[in-house]
Every structure is written in C-alpha cells, then in structure tokens.
Chain A
C-alpha cells in the first residue's frame, strides 16, 4: 500500500511545530533518527521491551480490538499493529532478526513504514482491551505511546494534537479558553442553574486563594458538556467545600500524554502542582475525563519530580461522590433521572484506574431501581467508544474511521434499548455525539456527575 492510500489524520505544519520549539526531521534522516529513538526506549521502558519480545502471535487479541472489528484491516489487529514496530525492532536489536530477517519476519526501517506508523498508531485508541485479553497481558497502548512520541520527534503529528499542545502551552487548557472566557462561562452556568433549579445558588470560584480543594474540570465541559460542570458545582455546594478552579490549568485532559509525553504531559503536571500549591489546596479533585484521569492518577506520582506530589493527594470526583453516598451524606432523588439508562465504562476508568465499582455505586444511587441496564460486555471488558486517545479527527477519511471503530459500541448500546447513554469521559462524549448521529441511535449522551447534580436534593 502506498502512503497516499493510507488513512492518516491531517498533519501539523512545520510552522506549528516551530512554535512548539521543534524542527521537522528531514526525510533522509528520519530512518536513522527513529532507530536511535527505539534504541533509547528499549533501554528505558520495560513494558515496551516485553511487548516486543513476548508475543506468540496467537491472535487472541484480534477480536478484542474494536478497530479491527470495525475495519477488518490486519494492521489493526493489536499484534499486527505492534508488528509495525516489532519487525524493525527485531531487525536491529535481536540476534535472530540480524541473522535471519526473512524467517522471523524482521524488516529494515523505511519511510513507507514510518508512514504506516502514522496511520495505524493513530487508529489505536490506547484502550488496553488487548492487554486485558492477551494471555500475557501485552499492552499495545505502551507501544502506541512510544510510536507516537517517536513520530512527534520526527515532526509527524496530527494537526489536532499539535494545535492542542500549543493551546496547552498558551492557556493551560485544550480549548484555548482565557481566564476572562472561563469566568464568563461559569457565571453564565451559575445563572442557568439558578433558573433551572428554583433559585439554587451555585458559585464556581476561579483562582480563589486559600482554597482547600482544587477542582480540575475538562475544558470541553465549558462548551460541549455544561451539565457535567453543573453536577460538580452542585456537589461541592451540597457538601460545603472550599474549592476553586485554576484558570491556569482548567484541563482534566492531557493531550501531551497522547502525543508528547516528555514535554507537554510534563508541562501540564508541573502546572497542576504549582497551581495547587499557589492556592493552598490540600487535595486535587479530578473531573470527568478518562485519559486525563489516568495520566493524573497513574502518571503524576512517577512523572513529576516535585515534592508537592507527596503532599497533595489526587482523587476523582467519582471517588468522592461514592464515599459521600456510602457515608449516607447525600440526599438524592432518583426519580428525577427516570429514563432507561446504560453506562459506557470509559476504557481508562475501567481498565487503568479501577472505577468499575464506584461508577455503579453512584449510578444505582441516582437512578430509580431497574432503570439502569448494563451493556455487554461491561466493566473491564467493555469496548472503547472508538475515539479514545484523542483520535477525534474531522477530516473525512478519519471521520469515517471513527464511525467504523464505533460499530461495536453502537451495537452494544442498541441492544440495551436505553434512552440515556451515560459516558463519564470528555473524549467518549465527543466521540459518542457523532456515533449516535451516524448510527441513528435513539439515545442522549450524559456524564455521570450530570445525573448526580440533577438528583441532589437541596434543603434550607
């Protein structure tokens, strides 16, 4: 297949890379540079080496991957995807690949393969369903992270991810919201809540000194999912929290994690901890965002070389709501969410962050008995929405791919007969809105905190 037949997202321009302090690597140096990077990674990251060296090509992962189910392209079989790098790894870094390349399936690296990397590692949603299914636990997402990092260093990355990285450096959030814009939107949301909930006054404090809690919302909530912000505000109001949002890090997501972990992801973590310190926060509470929550929960402790990491615990708003529900401290009226409802387990919550239980505890407390129907498979075995890892591209070829990659999800949702699809993750929501449209599903998409806020009963 030649490069121009490959499905690839629109690339970031040289000028955009320049803005981020990066030069494009010229074509005649790309191969050597990429091999050099693989060499570095194999000496640093064990999960990468084990993925390179443990696979037996049993194929158990094929039917586990929604991208293969949607496209039937062998390069979308997790083991086939990894092979795009493994063949090269074998050729340069294993005895058998140096001596008998043809026999063991080893290949020299060339530009065409690099183009395939750009295509297939941006079709992987880093959902880890393959790791969940593989008899060894081989985690393709680990390989995808590294492939995307290498591509980024070569100057190959989607416009979407790179422009978002630029927005992060400028504003601290993906949408490029300024402090004035943030305050404006939040004031508007306060008014909306007041109108909808009989004069209920919910403030959204921004950059408030001497706050105990730093809440980190997804910037997408400001435009696409305002009800998720409603819910968080209502919850904090209900428990009387002394909280704030920082205008410097109004972002629960972390696109750095999805394309440039060494710089952009680190930048966001550093900002986060500095902001928490600045406002005297004793705890950071995360908003609804799957990959971003994984990046915070599982990566911040090892990524940030800052003392603040040891001083300020980070939890998810679901964790806190669950604890308050279990302690019997929230009065909830499930009848307000009286529709048949199903839950999409965001991959990062279910397979990487251990949230399968807490989401269900919350769900069962905020909807009437019998209204909640599970989709199958669910929990850790759930399928990705098809947009994971920020592959929310709008260029026609990639948009078509997104819809194909959500075939499995659409089928799962349809089988439940639900009217509401609860998907407590910004990327899931952004993917599911078009999925619902293209697959003509009769459902509305909401977050989970949305439902909590709606069910909270305020007295006095």
Chain B
C-alpha cells in the first residue's frame, strides 16, 4: 500500500495531470476564433488587452464589480491558494528559509521559519474559511444551487478535506510534520531514487487527496484556471476603427 501511494500513484498523478491539461488545451486550440467578438470598449492594442486580462486575473474585477459576496469568498480563496502553492514550492527549495534567502541581512533563519509558519497557517485558515463560505453560498443561494451538479460540491469537499487536514497538521503540534522529511521524500521522487514515505498518517491522507485532485483536475471544471486565459483571449482583443469622413462630400473633415 505505501509502495503504491508513495512510489507509484505520484507518478500516475503527475503524468495524468500534465498530459491531461495539455490534451485539454490542445483541444481548445483546434477550433478557430472565427469572428472578432471582442467586448467593448475595445482595447486599443494587444498590450492594453493583456494588461486588462491580467487585471481581471489579479483582482477578479468582474466579481468585485457585479457580485461582491461571491468576490469575497472567491478572491480570498484563490489568493490563499496561489500563495500557498508558491509557499509549497518555496518550502521545498529552502525548507522554510525563503525569507532569509530573500533578505539575508534583515531576516535571520529563525525569523524566516517563524514567518513561514505564521503566513502558512494564516493562509491555510483563510483558504478553509473561504471554501466553507463558498460551499455555504452554493447551498444557500437558490440560483447557484439550481445550476450546480454533484461534481460542483465534490470539488469543494475535496478541497475542504485537503485544507482541513493541512490545518490540523499546522495547528496541533502533535500532528506536525516538519519540512525536512517531506523534502527528502519528494527529492527521492524527482530523482527516481525512492525514499520511503514519511510515516505519518495525516500526511498520508492529505498527500493522497492531493494526488486525487491532480488526477481529476484535467477532467473537471478546475480547468477554468487555464480556460480563463483562453476565453479572455477571445473576448478581450484589440479592434481598430476605420477612418471617419465622407468621401466626395462638400464638407470635409480635413481640408
């Protein structure tokens, strides 16, 4: 079992995730953008269009403008998610010393570890609370319930599961597991040089849930993370107006 979870499933998950996402995007690239269906006001150039798309991405501008309660849950959930994903990568490279590495003169190694702990814990809590809020909204709001199917709830349950286990590991010292053993194990995976899974049941649960998430990702609505850019590329593109003026008219715009 631990051989399967520790040494086989991770590779399956990685392959399914990467090839699945690639395949989905490949399929999006087959059909063309047939007509220019950009939404006005039109961006004047590609650089303006891209700035607008990134602005939408960073702020969830449309939700902020048109659905404030949803923005509250979705934006905080996503920001916590992005920062935590970044945090996981950082933790892997620096075992919690990232802030020390960024500003060695100002932040000591101990301070960095403490910051990493604090920030990670706070983000984890924000993430969980935001997810519960989104779940509550999906259940309470009649319109959202009407358009939801089971999978919409299951994604939320899965993420809530991951977040809950992660938070328990953070908040209760007796369930804590340091960065080092995980790093050693993951390095083994990357280098194809097997290191046994840390013997820690909560970690095992969380790790398995994450692998499940990776496997279903390409076959779920979670592809909206990439879809965002593909959709906006269609509806926010530049348009150049033809010149004004009536040829042959007595009154001309420019003499």
Mark A residues whose CB is within 8 Å of B.
42-51, 53-60, 62-64, 68, 74, 77, 79-80, 83, 94-96, 100, 102-105, 128, 131-139, 142, 212-213, 238-243, 282-283, 285, 298-299, 301-303, 313-315, 319-320, 322-324, 327, 329, 350-357, 380
Contact = CB atoms under 8 A, between A and B. Distances in A.
Interface in B1-39: 24, 27-28, 30-37, 39
A105 B28 contact: no
Contacts of B144: 57-59, 62
Interface in B97-141: 141
Nearest to A62: B143
Interface string B216-255: 0001110110011011101110010111111111110100
B147 A79 contact: yes
Contacts, number: 212
Given A83-B147, A105-B151, A135 B246 contact: no
Nearest to B242: A313
Interface string B44-60: 00000000000010001
Contacts of B62: 60, 132-135
B146 A137 contact: no
Nearest to A51: B231
Contacts of A283: 246-247
B40 A60 contact: no
B173 interface: no
B76 interface: no
B28 to A, nearest CB: 6
Majority SS of interface residues in chain A? helix
A45 B146 contact: no
A60 B66 contact: yes
B231 A298 contact: no
Contacts of A49: 27-28, 31
Interface residues of B, number: 60
Given A58-B74, A137-B39, A282-B248, A44 B24 contact: no
Given A46-B33, A47-B33, A313-B242, A351 B223 contact: no
Given A48-B31, A49-B27, A320-B244, A298 B147 contact: no
Nearest to A379: B41
Given A137-B231, A351-B40, A74 B147 contact: yes
Contact of B223 (A54, A100, A302, A354): A54
Contacts of B244: 315, 319-320, 322-323
A132 B205 CA distance: 41
A83 B35 CA distance: 23
B235 A131 contact: yes
Given A47-B234, A57-B152, A128-B39, A74 B143 contact: yes
